[in-house]
Structures are given as structure tokens and as C-alpha cells.
Amino acid sequence: MIDRREEKEERKMKLKVYADRMSQPSRAILIFCKVNGIDFEEIHIELSKRQQLSPEFQAINPFKKVPAIVDGRFNLFESHAILIYIASAFPGVADHWYPADVSRKAKIHAVLDWHHLNLRRGAAGFVLNTVLAPLLGLPLNKEAAAEAEKVLTSSLSTIENIWLKGDGQYLLGGFRPSIADLSLVCEIMQLQLLDEKEHDRILDPHKKVQTWIASTRNATKPHFDEVHNVLYKLKLRLSLKQSSQADGERKSGIKGPIISKM
């Protein structure tokens, strides 16, 4: 029987992951930890309620963003840094996630670096400015949406033609997923929130990308879908809203613009 104090100490020692499953990089870390059997505590920070702005969370991460981790007395933020840290610091993480081989590692870093200003910027910006902004009480910005769409489409082409070149079905020609695959696929999953037409319009031209997403999802089941459940539920709510609006429009005779804003 463990005494109370020891139990408390043990709880303090467990890895803590501060996350909101609506956040793409949060999902990547949660899936990564679950797939690798890492013992951790998930602490939910509800972004839609601005909980990231609390003084308690600011002490964890002065940048007031999720995800963030606390490992013992060590705090860390920036999802790529976190993925690399967990892959390096916890035993039992399979090598393919973050290979010991320095040149393979370096290529993964190159993808992760490229990601910030390309896929992340495009995908997150596009979803924010077409779907999420109204839900967060923010104004829709049409120019930002158009700009983001350009970056998103260009990034998907780059993944299709450059990063997915090679023998395997993962990034950099890998036969097994790395942290780069997880990070980028979680980002693209946010596009699930777009209405079906928009989603298909943007993703359809990229067959390799679609296969790659399916492979990554398959390699990390059942955790991938479990962690994405919040997103799937919101997608469902949004599409019901879209079809009831469509019905309303058909009945009243008004056309298009409301749906296209969603």
C-alpha cells in the first residue's frame, strides 16, 4: 500500500501534458504519448474559454499557448521541441519516430522547420478564417482566408511532390511514421471542419497525401481517432448546421453566401 505522501510525489513526477484537443499540435503530442505507452496526465486547457490566459497557466508557459508539458521540474512548450524531448527522454519510444541516425534526424528537423511557415500557416489560417473565427467570437477575414488558401495549396503540393518522394509511404520516403508525419497529419486533420465541398476541393488533387494520412491514422490506431473525437464531433455539429441552413434557404428561396462563409 503506497502512503499518501508517496502517492502525491508520484503524481508530481508523472509527465503532465497541457492540451486542448481542438489544437492540432496538442493532438500530435497526445497521440504520440498514447501510442508509445507513456505514463502521463492530460490537463485540459479550454481555449474557447480562454483558460490559456489564466495566471496559473502563464506560470507553466509564459507564451500562453498549448501544448505545454511539465516533466518533474522541467517546463517545455513548442510542440516540435516537446515531441523531440519525449522521443529522446522516454525509454520505449521506437526509433522510427525520431531516429538516432543524425542525418535522418536532420531531415526530420528540416520538415518540422518547413512546417511552421507553410502547412501550419496555410491550413490553420484557412480554417480559422473560414470556419472557426465565428465560433471563437472573432471576425472573418476574407483576405487572410485567400492568402492562407494559397499557402495551404502550395504546401499540399510540396508534400505531394517533394516530402512524400521515396520508397515508403511516409514523409522522407520512410516506411514507418516519424514525429514529422504525426505533426503534419494532425495539422491537415483540422481541414475536417470545412464543409465537404471545400474539403474535397482542396484535398482531392493530392492522392499521395490522402494515402499518407490514412497510413498515419492506421499506424496510430485506436488513439488517432480517440484523440480526434472532439474534432469529429464539432465537424458533425457544423455539417448539421450547414444542412439545416441549406434546407432553410431552399424553403425561403435564398441562395449561397451563408453556406460559403461556413
Residues that bind a second copy (CB under 8 A): 62-63, 71, 74, 76-82, 84-85, 88-89, 102-103, 106, 112-114, 116-117, 121, 158, 162
Instruction: Find the shortest distance in angstroms from Cβ 165 to a second copy.
Output: 9
| Residue with Cβ nearer a second copy (111 or 202) | 111
CB of 181 to a second copy, least distance (A): 18
Q: What minimum distance in Å lies between the beta carbon of 134 and a second copy?
A: 24
Cell readout for 151 is 499557402
Give least dist CB 78 to a second copy, A: 4
Q: Please say which residue, 6 or 95, places its beta carbon nearer to a second copy.
A: 95
Name residue, grid cell 471576425. 139
| Grid cell listed for 238 | 457544423
* Residue 176 backbone phi and psi in degrees, to 5: -135, 155
Residue among 40 and 85 whose Cβ is closer to a second copy: 85
Asked whether 16 and 41 are in contact (CB, 8 A), the reply is: yes
Minimum Å distance from CB 74 to a second copy?
Answer: 5
C-alpha cell at 158: 510540396
Nearer to a second copy, 75 or 239 (CB): 75
Q: Which is nearer to a second copy, 162 or 214 (CB)?
A: 162
* CA atoms of 7 and 173, how far apart (whole Å): 45
* Region of 19 on the Ramachandran plot (φ > 0 left; ψ -120 to 50 alpha; else beta): beta
The least distance separating a second copy from the CB of residue 243, rounded to whole angstroms, comes to 37
Residue 138 DSSP label: -
Which residue do the cell numbers 490514412 mark?
214
Yes or no: say if 86 and 38 are a contact pair by the CB < 8 Å rule: yes
Query: What's at 103, amino acid-wise?
Result: S
Cis peptide before 25 (omega within 30 of 0): no
Shortest reach from residue 262's CB to a second copy, in Å:
28
Cβ contacts of 187 within 8 Å, gap of 6 or more = 24, 25, 115, 119, 120, 123, 124
Q: How far is CA 222 from the centre of its chain?
A: 16
Is the Cβ of residue 2 or residue 102 nearer to a second copy in the bound state? 102
Closest by CA to 24, choosing from 166, 173, 230, 195, is 230
For a second copy, the closer of residues 117 and 258 by Cβ is: 117
